[in-house]
Amino acid sequence: MSNTTVEERSQNPGSHLEEMTEGKQTLQFEKGERIYTQGNPSDAVFFIQQGKVKVTAVSPAGKEATLSIHGKGDFFGLGCLSGLNGQNLRVNTATTVEPSLLLRIEKSAMVSALHQHQALRRSFIDYLLTCNTNIQEDLCDQLLHPSEKRLARVLLKLSRLAENGDEAEVILPRFSHETLSEMVGTTRSRITYFMNKFKKMGLVHYGRDLVVHAGLLAEEVLSK
């Protein structure tokens, strides 16, 4: 029997997607596969059932930036729902960080479901409001805190996306220092410096995977 309560189910929009009977498709991706590319038609939203997805964007000058990392229970590709007509073309690229199981939902099916299912509509609004709050926190972080604290916050956010996110030691895919620098908004050399510092302090260690000691990291870096 599931341990999910009625209240938890009502707060999770993904739990209501099973009520949809048309316009959705389950897709399996291996690590590093492109889901869609910047400039592709924007005609569907995606829901992550398992795995992680990185969203990036490229400027006209060719500079690439990592915008976000999404995990189990997250939506992405929501631009097609924005405004009256939504985005016709993708403004970013989505790539899997690890093997992932995704639900692809056609725009028309998602719009119809949001109109027809009140529980889905309410939980989806709650989800969007939470996303908006997270964006505001990230903006404040970028404006007010030094890069060391920003890196710590990014590592803690990635830890919460992990399957064992509630444990003292959280195992993550090993992100490149280039990717972390894009997420933090600093140089690769600064990321390398602070990661080495965190490693010497016993806050992280890495080989094949990245292991974050979340509680220690929050206590040693964010509390100061």
CATH number at 28 reads 2.60.120.10
Torsion 119-124-129-131 (CA) sign: positive
pTM for the structure as a whole: 0.81
What pLDDT is recorded for position 3? 37
Residues constituting the chain: 224
Out of 104, 139, 174, pick the residue that ends a domain. 139
pLDDT at position 223, please? 72
Within a domain: residue 32? yes
Location of structure tokens 């399996």: 28
Residue among 67, 86, 68, 90 nearest 77 (CA) = 90
| 125 and 166 both lie in a single domain | no
79 in the same domain as 63: yes
- For each of the chain's 224 residues, which pLDDT tens digit applies? 333 333 343 467 888 888 788 899 999 999 999 999 999 999 999 999 999 999 999 999 988 888 999 999 999 999 999 765 667 899 999 999 999 999 999 999 999 999 998 999 999 999 999 999 988 988 888 888 899 999 999 999 888 887 665 677 888 888 889 989 988 989 999 999 999 999 999 999 988 889 999 888 988 887 76
Q: What range defines the domain where residue 194 resides?
A: 145-222
DSSP-H helix ranges across the chain: 6-11, 107-116, 118-144, 147-161, 177-184, 188-200, 214-217
Residue after which a domain boundary falls, among 139, 174, 208:
139
Tell me: do 195 and 133 sit in the same domain: no
What is the bridge-based pairing of β-strands 100-106 and 34-36?
unpaired
Task: Verify that 127 and 111 share a domain, yes or no.
Answer: yes
Query: Does 170 lie in the same domain as 132?
Result: no
Q: For residue 58, tell me if it sits in a domain.
A: yes
